[in-house]
Amino acid sequence: MLASSVQQSKPAPYPSKVRSAFVRRTVVVVLVLGALTLLTISFRSPASGALHDLQGIGSSALRPFQIAATRVATPFRDAYDYVDSLTRAKSENARLRKQVSAYKAAYLNARAAATQLPALEKLLRYEQGPTFPKDFGAVNARVISWSSSPFAHQLTIAAGSSSGIQRNSPVLSGDGLVGRVVNVFPDSAIVTLLTDAQSYVTARDLQTGVRGIVHRGPGGTLILDDVKKQEVVQSGDQLVTDGTRNPRYPDLYPFGIPIGRVSSVDVTDTATFLQVQVQPFANLGSLDSVAVLVAAKHKR
């Protein structure tokens, strides 16, 4: 008997619970139907009808409450607006400062480019002019650094062997000879200036045809050396590169590249040669861009 199962009937729900669920569902259904009815009437006649009038009355009745709420909220809203505008002003200020910095940088770049323009134009005129050495092409390059060493007058340019530049290639500006390439890297090269102690250039006086060697003299000045006393060189004469005289010993520089102007000529009893001081055409102290002469077949 103890083990036998007792058949139990399914418990009937409490009447109160049934009523509660019924009421709940009825309420929600009635409300949803009411809302749908209002929605339908309001949608079908949005600008007229009894419901519209009732809505107007209701809105008017609620208006004082809305005004009161707005008045209560006004100080808080003002405070919020103040903080909001302050935040926006700050972010706008930061954005404008950034813009000003960018414009300043652009302005400086433009100014820098404008200052380089005359030199570049001069260089271009020289390259396209009749005095440009034949059988040579020009690789234009920006000067990217200057040697700060007191022992070497050098600068680095932003073009190298990938542009066809080779060691000992002549380098010039729109005004005249600058120097020659002494070291080449794929995308850069080092140029020794005329004023370097290791620089020697055979030169010719265009007016008198006198030949000599331009190199650095005492005190860092440029001189025309190896000019005998009996030769005639006058102040103001123009010097150009002499070029190759013996094909067996080709010169590094082709004929006709302007070097400088004779600034003074002195003769002393003790000296073997004339003391000719030369003022270079190229402004070697402020070069921004140069042209490197490369043999036409090497130019890429």
Residues that bind another protein (CB under 8 A): 17, 20-21, 23-24, 27-28, 31-32, 34-43, 46, 51, 55-56, 58-59, 62, 65-67, 69-70, 73, 77, 80
- Shortest approach of another protein to residue 127 CB, angstroms? 59
Q: CB of residue 86 vs another protein: minimum separation in angstroms?
A: 15
| CB nearer another protein, residue 13 or residue 220 | 13
Q: Which is nearer to another protein, 23 or 197 (CB)?
A: 23
Nearer to another protein, 16 or 270 (CB): 16
Asked if 142 contacts 120 with a C-beta cutoff of 8 angstroms, the reply is: no
Q: Among 114, 40, 148, 122, which residue's Cα sits nearest to residue 290?
A: 122
Report how far residue 201's alpha carbon sits from residue 172's, in angstroms, rounded to the nearest whole number: 13
Instruction: Report how far residue 201's alpha carbon sits from residue 251's, in angstroms, rounded to the nearest whole number.
Output: 9
Of the pair 80, 103, the CB lying nearest another protein is at 80
**Beta carbon nearer to another protein, 70 or 168:** 70
Minimum distance between the CB of residue 80 and another protein, rounded to whole angstroms? 7
Collapse the DSSP code of 73 into the 3-class scheme (helix H, G, I; strand E, B; otherwise coil) and give the result: helix
DSSP state of 257: -
Task: Report in angstroms how near the CB of residue 30 gets to another protein at its nearest.
Answer: 9
| CB-based contact 257:208 (threshold 8 Å) | no
User: What angle, rounded to 10 degrees, do the helices at 50-128 and 15-44 form?
Assistant: 70
CB 174 within 8 A of CB 184: no
The distance of closest approach from Cβ of residue 52 to another protein in the complex, given in angstroms and rounded to an integer, is: 9
